[in-house]
Structure formats: C-alpha cells, structure tokens
C-alpha cells in the first residue's frame, strides 16, 4: 500500500442494506433492465410474490394461465424485443410445466431466465410437498441452471444467469431458489452485473486465416450460395449481413428462424430452405460450388438426406458455437465467431460482384414454382379457401410490417413460406422443437416485446386447443393480439404424412373443435368465423382494425397439402412440387 489514503479506502466497509433474498432478486431483475415477468405463483415462490407486491410500479407481472404459457410468452417477448425473457414459477408442477418451453428455447437459442421456487433447503430430498428435482429435470434443456439455498448467493447467481442467457449462443437458464433463501435477510451490497466467467467462452476467437480462406473461396466461386439462420438475428448482424450479401451478389436463402434477417422482397433473397421451403433454394443446394452457411445449424429439416447434401460444394460455416461446426455437415472452412464481427471482416476481403446468370437460375426455378404451385395457393379462383390465400391477403393488408407468430404444423409452413417481412424480428415460431401450442402464448409476449406493432398469431385448430387457456391472459391484461385460426378440422401435417406415406390411413388426426368464436366471446374477446372467399378480406380488415384483441376463424380446405416437400429420407434436390 503506497499511501495511507489507499489503505483507508480499502478498510472502509462496503455499504450494505439488510434485505430479503426475494427483494434482492427483484432489485437484480430491475438492474438487468427487466420490465415484464411472465409467471404463476404457488407455495414455494410465495415470498417472491409477496415482495413483488411492492414492486408493481417497476415490474409488470403477467399472470399466465399455465406455466408452459409463461415460457412461450417469454420466448415471444425475447424474439421480438431482443431482450431476455423472464419467467417465475413455483416448485413441483409449476417447475415441471416449464420443461417444454425450456426445451423449445434451448433448441431455438432463445434467452430466458426462469426463476423457480423450491421447498425449504432442509426439506430437499425428502419428497416434501411440491418438491421436484428441477435442477436435474431441466439440465438437458437449459444452457445453465443453479440451485440457490442461501440468500447471499442470489445477486451473483442472477448476474451469472443473465450473462449466460444472453451472451454467445443464447439460451434458457434456470435458477431454483429454496423458500428459506427467499425469506432470509442478508447484507445486500448492490447488484454487480457479470461479464466474465472463467470456464465459459461465449465467443470463440476469430481466426484470420479462416476468414481469408473463406474470402478466397468466395472470390473464386462461380455458383456461390448463402444459407442464413437465426444467428444473424441473434447477433444483431442484419446490417452486416446485408452488406455482405449485397457486395458479394450471392443469392441467399433462409431457415425458418432466419426469416426476415433480410427483407422478403430483397432481390438476392431467393426464399426458404428445407422440407417445405422453396423449389430453387433446395435444388440449387446440390448444384452450387460454394455454400456459405451463416448462423444456421444444418437441421435435418433443412438438409434432408445428409449423404446427398451439397456433396459437390465447398462449405464455409460461420457460427458462434464451435459444437455446430462439422456436427451435421463437414465444413471446409470453419469461420468461428460472432457473425457481427466475422461478416464485416469477410465483406472487406471479398470482391464486389454480381452473379447474374446464377441468380437467373434461381429465378427460373421460382417461376416454375410460382406457376405450378404458388399462384394456385395464393390466388385460387374457386374451390375451398386455402391457407395460402389467407396469408396472402394478410400480407396485402399488413404490408409486411406486422409480427407473424405461428404455431406448428401446416399453417406454420404456409405462414413462414408466404409471410411478408420487411424487417427483422417479425417472425416468431417454434423451429427446432416444433411445439404445438406455442403460438398463442408466444403472441402475448411478442406483443409486449413489440408494443407498437400489429401482432398476428396464426394458429391451427389443433395447436390452438393445446394452450387456449391463455385467452384468459389476453383478456385480463388487454393484450392486443389478433388470433387467426386456420381451421382445416384435421391435425393437418400428420394427416398429410398419413396420406402420402401411410396409404391415407388417417389415424387420430380427425380433431373436432369447439365454437372458437363463442369461446373467445366467453373471454370477452370479439371474433368471427369466415367460411367463404367473398368475406375473407373484409373479415381480415375487421380483425386488424379492431381496437383490442380479436379472434378470426377461417375454415380452410380440409385435405390440402403443403408443397413443395422434400420427403423424409430424400435429398433436397428431390423436392416435389406435388
């Protein structure tokens, strides 16, 4: 110690306040910028709920109708806002109800911080009332989880949770807090955010050599093709990505979670990848010479049969998660790192180019798809209503400015294929896990995350019935979401597979529904049902112009199939238009 002054400074005790673990938790949440919590109270989390009673001004708590709904709402919030979604649930059943949402957030890299109450520490392991081993149950579906048994741990545990949830490849984190720790008074030193954990490297170090190798491959390529995924959005790298695409002149196609990273009608956006993606992008995957994958993980729904996937191409893979490199598709050049940093490096090394004749090939495929399929889907002159035409009319009315939340199934593929997105973070859907029931609660969070946008939840008749209790949440908190049910009176996607691959043996896909409009009415939500083409546009306008939430049920063709389709076990280039 050099001076006496310094010695004194060290000796001075830190200022502390005596607070409960619960209060420290809420203070920490506020310090992290949390404004909204999606939750449901219960015995083991009561001290936290007692504390939040005094924080009503600072923290907006949305009481969901089921804890699964809380996780999906938090996911929707995270997707549209780019912030961390926060969930509260009690122990036992409250905690186990989070599992589906955690798994969904884990596979789709959505940042969540979930707080669960737990029985008193001295009761752990005794099969106490509403005790469940939530840490072990949620280990496979969380990026990190931690059990707190002492209030002193709460500030640091929360800081670590937020840091882990949002850094690197984001993901869900769970903190389980025993009831005694929630009650316990301790000397709170204030909240210190976490920005480093020694065993955790959120971003790998960028290797210049790989960026240079990638640039060399791109510069020599005659038929380069870009695939982009949610990594672009998660890295907030939309501008960097656009600059890369435009300078390179390379056609780019998206995974469903990458939708909107560049606008739908960007001239170099050639469409959607995968099982129900566009014709050109799937076929051309197997004729390109250099494949540049940005922030995507080569899911099997994107690649189809792996041993026949882009075998002719050199693969450049940009990803923040080293475990994704070579996991499914072998990378010739692995460009590790945050694409917000690697893309500008790459852009600076590539030549400004156009690939007119190569792009024309994509356009030729698009024309075939348009004539043989899309026109019939979007503008059928007669016959039953199609899902495609509903989305098309919606596009015309929303002009690509609305958030489209979709559930899972046929309507999801249609909404993602045809939904018009002018900008990023307008598409919210359950990608990797394919969670039916995701749509309605996710829309609640999506609206809270993007309050100035129109939010439309496009949901099938099956998925809606999985989480329809969240109509209660919409009612109670006046969440202005528009619910668009595309009712084909079937579990459509499974029915489609049973038709195509199981000889039309329709096994338990015939699902009946209640009167959805009346159901909405019972929740004081206005609505109507459309069965004819003539009334569709008017009904959509009514829905969009309605002041507050609205439910529109559209009866669509019962046995309509989603095409194109890459049948399971087939190569992407074997994509079928019918």
**Site residues (CB under 8 A) for another protein?**
135-136, 139-140, 143-147, 153, 156-157, 160, 164, 194-201, 204-205, 321-323, 325-327, 334, 336
Q: Using CA atoms, how far apart are residues 338 and 483, in angstroms rounded to an integer?
A: 36
Q: Using CA atoms, how far apart are residues 256 and 251, in angstroms rounded to an integer?
A: 17
DSSP string, 255-283: -GGGTTSS-TT-TTEEEE-STTS-HHHHH
Contact indicator for 560, 488 with CB cutoff of 8 Å: yes
Q: Using CA atoms, how far apart are residues 280 and 259, in angstroms rounded to an integer?
A: 16
| Nearest distance from C-beta of residue 122 to another protein, angstroms | 17
Q: Is 114 helix (H, G, I), strand (E, B) or coil?
A: strand
**Nearest to another protein of 190, 451 (CB atom):** 190
Annotation says 239 is catalytic: no
Q: Extract the runs of DSSP E, i.e. beta strands, from 286-410.
A: 290-294, 314-319, 333-336, 403-406
**Nearest to another protein of 314, 355 (CB atom):** 314
Name the strand (E) or helix (H) holding 364.
helix 356-369
**Nearest to another protein of 234, 259 (CB atom):** 234
| Nearest distance from C-beta of residue 468 to another protein, angstroms | 33
**Nearest to another protein of 143, 417 (CB atom):** 143
Contact indicator for 21, 50 with CB cutoff of 8 Å: no
Q: Using CA atoms, how far apart are residues 247 and 75, in angstroms rounded to an integer?
A: 34
Within 10 angstroms of residue 360's Cβ, the number of other Cβ atoms is 10
Which among 67, 153, 238, 553 is annotated as catalytic?
67
Q: Using CA atoms, how far apart are residues 66 and 51, in angstroms rounded to an integer?
A: 22
DSSP string, 328-352: SS--SEEEES-HHHHHHHHHHHSPP
**Nearest to another protein of 15, 198 (CB atom):** 198
**Nearest to another protein of 194, 537 (CB atom):** 194
Tokens of 184: 């316990």
**Nearest to another protein of 152, 469 (CB atom):** 152
Helices and strands of the chain, counted as H and E runs: 25, 20
Contact indicator for 279, 369 with CB cutoff of 8 Å: yes
Contact indicator for 444, 420 with CB cutoff of 8 Å: no
**Nearest to another protein of 307, 534 (CB atom):** 307
**Closest CA relative to residue 45, chosen from 83, 84, 93:** 93
Q: Using CA atoms, how far apart are residues 152 and 187, in angstroms rounded to an integer?
A: 8
> What is the residue whose two structure tokens read 């019972």?
522
Tokens of 58: 């600072």
| Nearest distance from C-beta of residue 197 to another protein, angstroms | 5
**Nearest to another protein of 167, 392 (CB atom):** 167
Which among 143, 179, 242, 447 is annotated as catalytic?
179
Q: Using CA atoms, how far apart are residues 317 and 294, in angstroms rounded to an integer?
A: 6
| Nearest distance from C-beta of residue 437 to another protein, angstroms | 24
169 Cα distance to chain centroid: 13
Contact indicator for 154, 177 with CB cutoff of 8 Å: yes
**Closest CA relative to residue 219, chosen from 352, 314, 313, 315:** 352
Which among 413, 493, 543, 565 is annotated as catalytic?
493
Annotation says 67 is catalytic: yes
Which among 35, 46, 120, 130 is annotated as catalytic?
130
**Nearest to another protein of 158, 459 (CB atom):** 158
Annotation says 521 is catalytic: no
**Nearest to another protein of 186, 563 (CB atom):** 186
**Residue 158, CB half-sphere, CA atoms under 13 Å: how many?**
29
Alpha-carbon distances, residue 213 vs 336, 452, 457, 490, 536 (angstroms): 13, 44, 43, 50, 53
| Nearest distance from C-beta of residue 199 to another protein, angstroms | 5
Which among 6, 58, 129, 568 is annotated as catalytic?
129
DSSP string, 429-444: ---SS--TT-HHHHHH
Annotation says 412 is catalytic: no
Annotation says 130 is catalytic: yes
Contact indicator for 497, 473 with CB cutoff of 8 Å: no
| Nearest distance from C-beta of residue 183 to another protein, angstroms | 20
| Nearest distance from C-beta of residue 90 to another protein, angstroms | 21
Q: Using CA atoms, how far apart are residues 426 and 557, in angstroms rounded to an integer?
A: 27
Q: What is the dihedral of CA 140, 141, 146, 147, to 10 degrees?
A: -90
Contact indicator for 558, 353 with CB cutoff of 8 Å: no
Residues catalogued as catalytic = 67, 129-130, 179, 493
């Amino acid at each position: 110690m050099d001076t006496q002054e310094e010695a004194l400074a060290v000796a001075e005790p830190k200022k502390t306040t005596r607070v409960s673990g619960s209060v420290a938790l809420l203070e920490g949440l506020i310090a992290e910028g949390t404004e909204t919590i999606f939750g449901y109270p219960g015995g083991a989390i009561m001290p936290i709920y007692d504390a939040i009673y005094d924080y009503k001004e600072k923290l907006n708590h949305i009481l969901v109708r089921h804890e699964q709904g809380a996780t999906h709402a938090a996911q929707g919030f995270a997707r549209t806002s780019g912030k961390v979604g926060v969930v509260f649930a009690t122990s036992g059943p409250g905690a186990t109800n989070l599992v589906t949402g955690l798994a969904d957030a884990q596979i789709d890299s959505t940042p969540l911080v979930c707080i669960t109450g737990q029985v008193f520490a001295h009761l752990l392991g005794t099969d106490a009332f509403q005790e469940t081993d939530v840490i072990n149950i949620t280990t496979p579906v969380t990026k990190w989880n931690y059990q707190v048994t002492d209030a002193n741990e709460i500030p640091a545990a929360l800081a670590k949770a937020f840091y882990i949830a949002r850094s690197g490849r984001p993901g869900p984190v769970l903190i389980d807090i025993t009831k005694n720790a929630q009650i316990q008074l301790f000397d709170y030193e204030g909240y210190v955010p976490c920005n480093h954990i020694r065993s955790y490297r959120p971003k790998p170090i960028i290797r210049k050599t790989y960026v240079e190798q990638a640039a060399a491959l791109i510069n020599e390529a005659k038929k380069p093709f870009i695939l982009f995924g949610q990594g672009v959005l998660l890295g907030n790298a939309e501008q960097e990505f656009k600059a890369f695409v435009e300078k390179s002149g390379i056609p780019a196609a998206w995974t469903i979670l990458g939708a909107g990273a560049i606008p739908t009608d960007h001239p170099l956006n050639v469409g959607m990848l995968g099982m129900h993606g566009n014709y050109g992008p799937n076929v051309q995957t197997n004729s390109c010479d250099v494949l540049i994958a940005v922030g995507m993980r080569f899911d099997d729904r994107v690649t189809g049969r792996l041993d026949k996937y882009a075998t002719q191409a050199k693969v450049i893979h940009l990803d923040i998660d080293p475990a994704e490199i070579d996991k499914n598709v072998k990378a010739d050049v692995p460009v590790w790192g945050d694409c917000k940093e690697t893309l500008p490096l790459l852009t600076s090394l590539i030549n400004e180019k156009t690939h007119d004749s190569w792009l024309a090939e994509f356009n030729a495929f698009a024309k075939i798809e348009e004539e043989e399929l899309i026109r019939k889907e979007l503008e059928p002159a007669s016959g039953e209503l199609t899902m495609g035409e509903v989305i098309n009319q919606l596009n015309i009315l929303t002009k690509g400015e609305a958030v489209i939340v979709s559930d899972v199934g046929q309507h999801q593929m249609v909404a993602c294929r045809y939904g018009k997105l002018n900008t990023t973070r307008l598409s919210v859907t359950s990608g990797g896990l394919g969670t039916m029931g995701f749509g309605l609660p996710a829309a609640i969070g999506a609206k809270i995350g993007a309050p100035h946008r129109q939010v439309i939840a496009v949901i099938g008749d099956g998925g809606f019935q999985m989480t329809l209790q969240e109509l209660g949440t919409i009612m109670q908190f006046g969440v202005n979401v528009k619910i668009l049910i595309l009712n084909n009176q079937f579990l459509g996607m499974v029915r489609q597979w049973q038709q195509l691959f199981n000889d039309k043996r329709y096994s338990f896909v015939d699902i009946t529904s209640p009167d959805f409009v009346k159901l909405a009415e019972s929740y004081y939500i206005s609505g109507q049902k459309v069965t004819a083409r003539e009334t569709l546009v008017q009904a959509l306008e009514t829905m969009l112009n309605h002041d507050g939430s609205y439910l529109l049920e559209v009866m669509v063709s019962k046995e309509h199939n989603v095409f194109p389709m890459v049948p399971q076990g087939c190569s992407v280039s074997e994509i079928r238009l019918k």
